[in-house]
A and B are shown apart, each in its own frame.
Chain A
Amino acid sequence: MADQPTATERFIQGILPENPVLRQLLGLCPALAVTANMKSALTMTGAVLFVLFCANVITSLIRNLLKPHLRIVVFTLTIATFVTIADRFLAAYLYQMSKTLGPYIPLIIVNCIIICRCEVCASKQSVFVAGADAIGQSIGFGLAISAIAAVREILGTGNFFDIPVLPAAWPDWVVMVLPPGAFLTFGLLIGLVNWYETVRAQRPVREVLEPAQSEGA
């Protein structure tokens, strides 16, 4: 346990160094499917934050009781419960949004980000670290899908959060709101992040932010 990252490290790693979408390439289904506009992207982030936080905390609380060969069953059970709660909550209080997101809220159950965090962090570390990890990873997820959604919504409809930001003369690039737009934006974004990481790695002096730790990550 001595080598495990601290809560602060876990939190920071989730945001960029180990960003779930851009660095670990997990959770791509929602990253491609619900990023046609900012509102759905943020609702999705909220749902993922809720599920990931609850699942991480519960898993961490029972981590000493877990039997290795039954741990995946326990993770899935926990995740499914909180996903169902999130889904019902949206249907009750954000009915239109729940219709827009359709099956993608129930699909959080199979979102690899969450099961990955339960396995990597929550089943080994304390509740506090697991909670910080969940929040960090969710912020990272939110930033990544908001970035995709912002590009797609602005270029595809000329709006940002449904508010017109481009002049009316802007010819809406409909392809951006369609599935190909998701792949194009996502591919370019991954390219950008990889390029940035390469440039950063070549610099002789490393950031003081996360020493040694992130080398192996």
Chain B
Amino acid sequence: MTAQGKTHFFSQAWLVLVLAICFGGLLAGMQIVLGPTIEANKINETLERVPELVFGAAHAKELSETGMEIKPLSVGVEKAGKTVRYNVYETKSDGRLAGWVTKSAGQGYADKIEILIGFDPQVEKITGLFVLDQKETPGLGNKILEAGWRGQFLDKSTAKPLAPVKGQAKAGHEIDAITGATISSKAVTDIINTAVADLRQPLTDKAKGQ
């Protein structure tokens, strides 16, 4: 390319280049200013929920003023040759282990469902359930958000995998499926069952080690 050709190229494109540099700088500045807030939002969304999933909504408020310690951990579980990592929040009250909260996700009817599950220290029962993110059908599947439905998971033993049933749940491990949203109900129960199966051993070991 001749020198003249190069000049021609720059005379055509200089505006695009200048704008790209200016806008790039603007966006970098934006990221520096807002980045930490966005990260904090993501973490807070989970952390805010942790106390009530371990202690129950009423009790959590009293405790939040006294000593409570939440420590995020990452627990790896070997499964079929792959390591699955769980974000687990270890909750301590007055220095003693009070329970675990884990983030877990699975395929729902429409899209991924992301939930938080609370366990007691020995992972023997479920102490809470919260749906972080879901895109289930409004009016049917999104009833998994309702406190009434989530409430039936409270104090359920983890000894036997939970099973959603149509109609009235009778046995201890049975869960009332939402009418018209069997898939969403099953998705949530499956996510819990998988999390229990994966995490029972590692978390019990951790609890003993303390």
Interface residues of A (CB under 8 A from B): 36, 62, 65-67, 70, 73-74, 77-78, 80-81, 84-85, 88-89, 91-93, 95, 99, 156, 172, 174, 177-178
How far apart are A155's CB and chain B's nearest CB, in angstroms?
A: 12
In the complex, the answer to whether A73 meets B30 with C-beta atoms within 8 Å is no
Question: How many angstroms between the C-alpha atoms of A92 and B33 in the bound complex?
Answer: 10
Most buried by A among B16, B42, B138: B138
In the complex, the answer to whether B41 meets A91 with C-beta atoms within 8 Å is yes
In the complex, the answer to whether A70 meets B13 with C-beta atoms within 8 Å is yes
Across the A-B interface, how many residue pairs have beta carbons closer than 8 Å?
A: 58
Question: How many angstroms between the C-alpha atoms of A66 and B19 in the bound complex?
Answer: 12
Interface contacts beyond A85-B27, A92-B34: sample of 18 additional A-B pairs, CB < 8 Å, sorted by A = A36-B138, A66-B15, A67-B12, A73-B16, A74-B19, A77-B20, A81-B27, A84-B27, A88-B30, A88-B31, A88-B38, A91-B38, A95-B38, A172-B139, A174-B138, A177-B138, A178-B137, A178-B138
Q: What does the 1/0 interface line of B9-35 toward A look like (CB < 8 Å)? A: 000110110011001001100110010
List, in ascending order, chain A residues with CB within 8 A of B73's CB.
none
Q: Chain B: how many interface residues by the 8 Å CB criterion? A: 22
Q: Which residue of A lies closest to B132 (CB)?
A: A99
CB of B155 within 8 Å of the partner chain: no
How far apart are B18's CB and chain A's nearest CB, in angstroms?
A: 9
In the complex, the answer to whether B38 meets A92 with C-beta atoms within 8 Å is yes
For the residues of A in contact with B, the DSSP-based class is helix
List, in ascending order, chain A residues with CB within 8 A of B12's CB.
67, 70
In the complex, the answer to whether B13 meets A88 with C-beta atoms within 8 Å is no
In the complex, the answer to whether A92 meets B20 with C-beta atoms within 8 Å is no
Q: Which residue of B lies closest to A93 (CB)?
A: B37
3 closest A-B pairs (Cβ-Cβ)? A174-B139, A81-B23, A92-B37
Q: Which residue of A lies closest to B133 (CB)?
A: A99
Question: How many angstroms between the C-alpha atoms of A156 and B139 in the bound complex?
Answer: 9
CB of B78 within 8 Å of the partner chain: no
In the complex, the answer to whether A62 meets B139 with C-beta atoms within 8 Å is no
Question: How many angstroms between the C-alpha atoms of A36 and B26 in the bound complex?
Answer: 33
How far apart are A43's CB and chain B's nearest CB, in angstroms?
A: 16
